[in-house]
Structure 1
Amino acid sequence: MSAPIQKVCVIGAGVMGAGIAAQVANAGVPVLLLDIAKEGEDRSAIARGAVARMLKTEPAPFMSRDAAKLVEVGNLDDDLEKAAECQWVVEAVIERLDIKQALYARLDKVCGPATAISSNTSTIRLASLLDGASEQFRRRFAITHFFNPPRYMRLLELVTGPNTDTAMFDGVVDFIDRRMGKTVVVTHDTPGFIANRIGTYWLQHGVNQAVEQGLTVSEADAVMGRPLGIPKTGIFGLLDLIGLDLMPHIARSMTEALPREDAFHATVREQAFIRKMIADGYTGRKGKGGFYRINKGESGREKIRESIGLVTGVYEPAQTARLPDALGRDPAALMFSDSRYGQYAWRVMGDTLAYAASLVPEIADDVVSVDAAMRLGFNWKQGPFELLDAIGPARVAARLQEEGRPVPALLRAVGDGTFYRIENGARQFFGTDGAYHDIPERDGVLSLDDIKRRTKRLAGNKQASLWDIGEGVACLEFHSKMNALDDKILAVVKESVEIVGRDFRALVISNDATNFSAGANLGTVLFAANIAAWGEIEKTVAEGQRVFKAMKYAPFPVVAAPAGLALGGGCEVLLHADSIVAHAETYAGLVETGVGLVPGWGGCGEMMERLSRLPGVPKGPMPVVASVFETISQAKVSKSAAEARQMGILRPTDSITMNRDRLLFDARAKALALVDGYAPPTKPEFRLAGAGGRTGLGLAVHDFAKRGIATPHDVVVAGTLAELLTGGEADAIDVVSEEDMLALERRAFMRLIRTGPTLQRIEHTLVTGKPLRN
């Protein structure tokens, strides 16, 4: 059994190496970041500069500024011996075999036999890296291929060799999984591994076909995007994100490594206009632009999004391409359409799916690994074989045959069947042996999707459901659009509290979606306001308060397990839970002021109670009120769960789970740990700042307005929030009950919802997805 990983060394402070070091630090583990020595006083300037850049980079590689303090910088000439202190060394230097092998020879002398060493290479095979290496080095070496940016991309491709010490790398894999939050996919030692082998083929083929078929950049991305379950960047937007200058290097490496008969070679065509773009500095988002660019116009203030003509090479205003609804919703209808969009979809995605099918088992043991790699490495909603199932494998095979093109053996073998099926509640995959096999369950992983296949829901409607997740714990799941909260969800929350109180030991609130909850359903609020149904709005606010407090004071523990957005009402759900187990990428905040409102479901009081209990908070009402006022009035949103803890949304006793796949399991474990001896919390009482505190907050708002930071309606909203947080008519010496705080929230909410500027903000947000500063 390998020693626990307590310190990591990353060699190479470029974008990838620095990002890997940052993710190790995000896991709370010290990391040594090394690069070549630089002449001058600061010989470690390259590594030090990388850390400084990451502190300014958006999206941020560090989950908090405290994480950056765990990075120790150094250089290869003076500090390589320190690598011996580490249990794992990650090499992330330039993709040159000679440079990597020279570094390995030095590491072999410095590091003891208990130190695992891996390369982050994306193109060079393990066998080539180990050519000439000692037996001891071969035993402790593997490839651990992270994807960029390492904090946000969940995929890690693992390549081991015949001599790799399995027990040693079991410890590394466990660290990468649990502490760094990555899904580890085992790949074979082939060029480009899984994701880059298929993804690069898809990207290059997509460019070539767009040029040949005369599609615009926008049209190609509209086809090769959301209709096929691919991010809206599509082909060209993704290339801008990756960097146009990187693709020729990857293609060259793959071309040199792959046999001449591989279909990849047909995609490698030099496009003269792309060569010119790179030469002129149009390398994508990191350069002056790419296939898309932002032109500020003659005034310098107007922003015009432009795309390059694939024939002319000239930038023109980008036109939004829209597919007919029937094609935009159904990948099969799109790919088998006779339209020019259908022809493009078939030639690009049809060929890509066939290519993927031809590579199993060359690149991986099974289709499950391939699908996971493409979902997590390229953010496809479905992997190639899942997409084949959605289209129909037999239909794809028949068309390939009709066109006189080879049908991959695996596609022929599955015949009229599918690559996945459900058998006795278990999800199975079609293997290369022609038989179906259960997809293995991972220890410490619990999925609502798996639970839904095996059980019937306990309660629910179209917006929310209650599920039995085992061991006496139920899970409340929101599944409305963006998991926005409305009266239907409140009804299920209320019913869930009753059911769990009667039949279960604890409740978890979570879901498998990208976002926990984007807040209250603003559409229903705006509709009610437009018909002046003020009584109905106030009734919904009051009902939300009653339901959330019933959850808070229920006779059983409630654990909220958010991931992604937890905004507004979604954040208020967290604030009413006994405990939070948050995925590391949780972005939480009370953002109601952005739409001209204040939190109405108890969020203000809960934030004040949380902050008043934090160690180190000065005594007296004003420091807490001022802090809550700043957080809510500025609609602050955490950029990670670690930042949510710094904001007071997460308490010191709350937990952070790095791996999204483990969130529900960890939340259930936390709920069970709270069961024995559980007692509901006592109701808080508040001593607020009164009129004097309100005056102080008002002066701050007036200063913001004077400096042009606060708009006229910001002043109105902030003034209403200040009155709420300081107790309304209450004096500073009065005790304000929780019920009184809720009444203050309702009154403030109803006052603002009746104002024209607030309704304008709500409507603007619903239409554009962006806040209105009025």
Structure 2
Amino acid sequence: METIRKAAVIGAGTMGAAIAAQFANAGVPVLLLDIVKPDAPSRNALAEGAIAKMLKTEPAPFMSKRAAKLVTPGNIEDDLPQLGSCDWVVEAIIERLDLKQVLYREIDAVRRPGTAVSSNTSTIPLAKLTEGLPESFRRDFLITHFFNPPRYMRLLELVTGPETDQDLAAKVANFADLMLGKSVVKAKDSPGFIANRLGVFWLQTGVIEAMDAGLTVEEADATIGRPFGIPKTGVFGLIDLVGLDLMPHINASLAATLPQGDAFHATNRDLPLIKKMIAEGYIGRKGKGGFYRKGAKGREAIDLSTADYRPAQKAKAPDGRDLRKLLTQSTYAWRVMGQTLAYAISLVPEAAEDVHAIDEAMRLGYNWKFGPFELIDKIGADWLAEKLAADNFPVPALLTAAKGKSFYRQEGANRDYLGTDGAYHKLTRPEGVLMLEDIKLTAKPLLKNASAAVWDIGDGVLCFELTSKSNSWDQQNLELLDKAIDFVPQNHKALVIYNEGSHFSVGANLGLALFAANIAAWSEIEKLVASGQQIFKKLKYAPFPSVAAPFGMAVGGGCEILLHSSAIQAHAEAYIGLVECGVGLVPAWGGCSEMLARWAANKAMPRGPMPAASKVFEMVSTATVSKSAANAKELLFLRESDGITMNRYRLLTDAKAKALALAVSYAPPEAPTYQLPGEDGSVGFAMAVKDFRKKGLATPYDEVVAGELRRVLSGGDADIIDRPTEQQILNLERAAFTRLIKQDGTLARIETMLTTGKPLRN
């Protein structure tokens, strides 16, 4: 199937510009067009301004500054003919049907037949958008509803009409999956589609029920948050995040388009408090604040009855291990989630063909850990039906049909879902997707302990999985990795290092390190450091290839395992770095030695002993973390030959393929030697740190930690003419780490990080 080689986005507002950025992140040239702004210095001012703004925005729409060069700004008056060279045109202008239809006719006049044209609308049905337009245009038209921010939100709702060319829709969906990193969920042409239809109902119900019950916003968010696997923002925190000013527009659109009997209308009340907040500029995080704001003395929350701000209170979240018990004990939890789950059931098949589509939309569009039907299975469909009936809520027909059943069931290696016909249907992954959770359904680990496991993922490839808390490294998973390195060559070709947690690895287990330090178990700490060095080097020089597959945070020891792997296949959203200095330590599992070797070998780096050491000193002392996998290549945490996977679901497949390709003619690397700056370089690093101290950019204890780091990176007692070995650098790392772990300043940093999650600037 032909792919998308060039794209265009029309509308350089927040969403349109960010969609264009995601095309560029995928390596695809993209036109960004908007109207000509009168009296502007450039006819392309709106598009040019959007690109410039995105280069300064955090979180960044671009994965690297290089990607921004793939976006070409233009305007609708001059540049529409350029659409003739595009394979996909995305319309992202204001939500006005009349303006959209005028634009579509202009697009149709210049595009090639077969060019996909899609709207990013979240409120206007496809049938309305294409009404009165030529049949040839209707055949190539669809809705592609991205979620904000497009780089980070994995959901793409795809809506087609009865006349849409299904091959073209498949081409767009395939590109969105493989290149844009989206999980494509097919939605019906109904108001609000799936995620916003249900999500807005949930938010509106959460606000109204909290006001009626006299709850604080903190109590409401603590209840309708983590206990249900929903982000801790809950209801009010999420509205602050997306913006209060958007809610009336979405609500008005749904109110105008949903049928009269829809349950949404009962939740669409006039809320004077929200009107007042919007009028006064309290529209959430992008304004002066919202339900929460930063006050002079810290975080504040609004009083829902008086509209006055007060100091925010910490509300205790209820226990979510028994959801049925929680829903019985908490009237608020029941009235919000009971109605929300019932509404979700009523959307099948009106908004989505099956229950899985709704679950996927809420997991990826609203970051719920469990979709609504997965939550129902935890609660019990029969129990939910009985309680809804007892409280005089309507019981959806699909819930009645599910009597005595669950919405999902496990049959061997197959996971089935309950259809509207009352029968179970096989749930299948998209072609080419391999998930460890599927392998675990029928397989047993080849090796296992409390902190890790080794799985056979087929074709002679094994997978090493961290299973510890936050996938942190400890003595047990290091020992299992050691065993795996010996085990692979017996009957297998390669090893993939991968897991399906929230983050790849947060590094060494600091809690265990702090405990050992508090009881002065120095020998145990030294043993952990030495074994980590030994095992990671053993992996590096193993006779088979290893491929690490990071995603999310891969920091500290989680970064060091990457640096010792034969290759890396990273998810695009991988945040990689050596952050040990932030907790008063230095990298001691080979992080310093590996980064020194990489920067010394970098052709863009000036020759000599100082440049590479200076770059590594700068990165490690400031705990630099990449902002994407593309940025990790710029920082040399990834090599140019390492791969990047856009879709998180495809990471294991791609890592396995890379491992098999390497295994064909694999030979382990040769050990590097180093040219380091010696005492003169160490003095130079010290002067730089003192300068930072004077400017207030470094703390007293930063200087202590940097003192140990500069000793490692300058080569210790080695002279500038010496050529230290890899083992000598490792010895310096270990010695520096051991000295620092005994310091009160380091222990204070570790304790603060463990208790607050934030670094201590002592």
Task: Decide: shared fold, TM above 0.5.
Answer: yes
Which runs of 5 or more structure 2 residues have no equivalent in the other structure? none
Residue of structure 1 equivalent to 2:473:
485
Counterparts of 1:750 and 1:323, CA distance in 2: 40
SS in structure 2 of the partner of residue 274 of structure 1: helix
The match for 1:657 among 645, 662, 683 is 645
Q: Quick check: 1:456–1:467 contact (8 Å CA) kept in 2?
A: yes
Task: Read off the aligned partner of 1:572 and give its amino acid letter.
Answer: E
Counterparts of 2:493 and 2:154, CA distance in 1: 33
Residue of structure 2 equivalent to 1:299:
none
Q: Quick check: 1:705–1:712 contact (8 Å CA) kept in 2?
A: yes
Task: Read off the aligned partner of 2:173 and give its amino acid letter.
Answer: V
Counterparts of 1:273 and 1:442, CA distance in 2: 45
Of stretches 155-164 and 676-685 in structure 1, the one that deviates more from structure 2 is: 676-685
The match for 2:312 among 312, 318, 328 is 318
Of stretches 497-506 and 515-524 in structure 1, the one that deviates more from structure 2 is: 497-506
Residue of structure 1 equivalent to 2:612:
624
SS in structure 1 of the partner of residue 440 of structure 2: helix
Residue of structure 2 equivalent to 1:365:
353
Q: Quick check: 2:226–2:317 contact (8 Å CA) kept in 1?
A: no
Residue of structure 2 equivalent to 1:560:
548
Of stretches 52-61 and 494-503 in structure 1, the one that deviates more from structure 2 is: 494-503
Counterparts of 1:477 and 1:119, CA distance in 2: 41
Q: Quick check: 1:84–1:111 contact (8 Å CA) kept in 2?
A: yes
Q: Quick check: 2:192–2:254 contact (8 Å CA) kept in 1?
A: yes
Aligned residues: 761
SS in structure 1 of the partner of residue 247 of structure 2: helix
Counterparts of 2:97 and 2:322, CA distance in 1: 45
Counterparts of 1:446 and 1:148, CA distance in 2: 27
Task: Read off the aligned partner of 1:523 and give its amino acid letter.
Answer: G
Of stretches 699-708 and 182-191 in structure 1, the one that deviates more from structure 2 is: 699-708
Shift of 1:22: 0.6
Counterparts of 1:451 and 1:335, CA distance in 2: 34
Shift of 1:400: 1.3
Residue of structure 1 equivalent to 2:706:
718
SS in structure 1 of the partner of residue 118 of structure 2: strand
Q: Quick check: 2:7–2:88 contact (8 Å CA) kept in 1?
A: yes
Shift of 1:16: 0.5
Counterparts of 1:567 and 1:267, CA distance in 2: 44
Task: Read off the aligned partner of 2:130 and give its amino acid letter.
Answer: L
Question: Is 1:692 matched with 2:684?
Answer: no
Q: Quick check: 1:227–1:330 contact (8 Å CA) kept in 2?
A: no
Task: Read off the aligned partner of 1:156 and give its amino acid letter.
Answer: L
Shift of 1:703: 1.2
Task: Read off the aligned partner of 1:313 and give its amino acid letter.
Answer: A
Task: Read off the aligned partner of 2:326 and give its amino acid letter.
Answer: L
Q: Deviations over 1:655-696 (max 9, x none)?
A: 110100000000000000001111111111112111121122
Counterparts of 1:292 and 1:329, CA distance in 2: 28
Question: Is 1:460 matched with 2:448?
Answer: yes
Residue of structure 1 equivalent to 2:459:
471
Task: Read off the aligned partner of 1:568 and give its amino acid letter.
Answer: G
Q: Quick check: 1:501–1:554 contact (8 Å CA) kept in 2?
A: no
Shift of 1:458: 1.0
Q: How does 1:182-193 map to 2 (within 5 A)?
A: 182-193=182-193
Counterparts of 1:14 and 1:593, CA distance in 2: 40
Shift of 1:286: 0.9
Counterparts of 1:189 and 1:763, CA distance in 2: 53
Task: Read off the aligned partner of 2:327 and give its amino acid letter.
Answer: M
Residue of structure 1 equivalent to 2:81:
81
Q: How does 1:28-427 map to 2 (within 5 A)?
A: 28-40=27-39, 41-296=41-296, 302=297, 304-324=298-318, 327-337=319-329, 342-427=330-415
Which runs of 5 or more structure 1 residues have no equivalent in the other structure? 297-301
Shift of 1:4: 2.4
TM-score for the superposition, normalised by structure 1: 0.97
Q: Deviations over 1:428-458 (max 9, x none)?
A: 1111111111111211211111011020011
Q: Quick check: 2:546–2:566 contact (8 Å CA) kept in 1?
A: yes
Percent identity for Structure 1 against Structure 2: 60
Q: Quick check: 2:244–2:283 contact (8 Å CA) kept in 1?
A: yes
Task: Read off the aligned partner of 2:709 and give its amino acid letter.
Answer: L
Task: Read off the aligned partner of 2:165 and give its amino acid letter.
Answer: D
Residue of structure 2 equivalent to 1:448:
436
Of stretches 463-472 and 663-672 in structure 1, the one that deviates more from structure 2 is: 463-472
Of stretches 225-234 and 307-316 in structure 1, the one that deviates more from structure 2 is: 307-316
Q: How does 1:503-542 map to 2 (within 5 A)?
A: 503-542=491-530
Question: Is 1:758 matched with 2:752?
Answer: no
Shift of 1:479: 1.8
Shift of 1:640: 0.4
* CA RMSD, Structure 1 to Structure 2 (Å): 1.0
Shift of 1:509: 0.3
Counterparts of 1:277 and 1:616, CA distance in 2: 53
Counterparts of 1:360 and 1:573, CA distance in 2: 45
Q: Deviations over 1:541-596 (max 9, x none)?
A: 00111111111111110000000000000000100000000000000000000011
Residue of structure 1 equivalent to 2:566:
578
Runs of 4+ in structure 1 off by over 3 angstroms are: none
Q: Deviations over 1:153-211 (max 9, x none)?
A: 00000001111111122221111111110000001100000001100100001101001
Residue of structure 2 equivalent to 1:10:
9
Shift of 1:614: 2.2
Shift of 1:81: 1.2
Residue of structure 2 equivalent to 1:701:
689
Counterparts of 1:48 and 1:255, CA distance in 2: 36
Of stretches 200-209 and 675-684 in structure 1, the one that deviates more from structure 2 is: 675-684
Q: Deviations over 1:521-560 (max 9, x none)?
A: 1111111111111111111100111111111111110000
Q: Deviations over 1:368-389 (max 9, x none)?
A: 1110000000000000100100
Of stretches 421-430 and 222-231 in structure 1, the one that deviates more from structure 2 is: 421-430
Of stretches 143-152 and 473-482 in structure 1, the one that deviates more from structure 2 is: 473-482
Shift of 1:406: 2.2
Shift of 1:114: 2.6
Shift of 1:624: 0.8
Task: Read off the aligned partner of 2:251 and give its amino acid letter.
Answer: A
Shift of 1:503: 2.4
SS in structure 1 of the partner of residue 32 of structure 2: strand
Question: Is 1:438 matched with 2:426?
Answer: yes
Question: Is 1:639 matched with 2:638?
Answer: no
Q: Quick check: 1:633–1:721 contact (8 Å CA) kept in 2?
A: yes
Counterparts of 1:494 and 1:336, CA distance in 2: 49
Task: Read off the aligned partner of 1:356 and give its amino acid letter.
Answer: A
Counterparts of 1:244 and 1:706, CA distance in 2: 43
Q: Quick check: 2:599–2:605 contact (8 Å CA) kept in 1?
A: yes
Counterparts of 1:563 and 1:293, CA distance in 2: 31
Q: Deviations over 1:244-275 (max 9, x none)?
A: 11111111111111110111110100111111
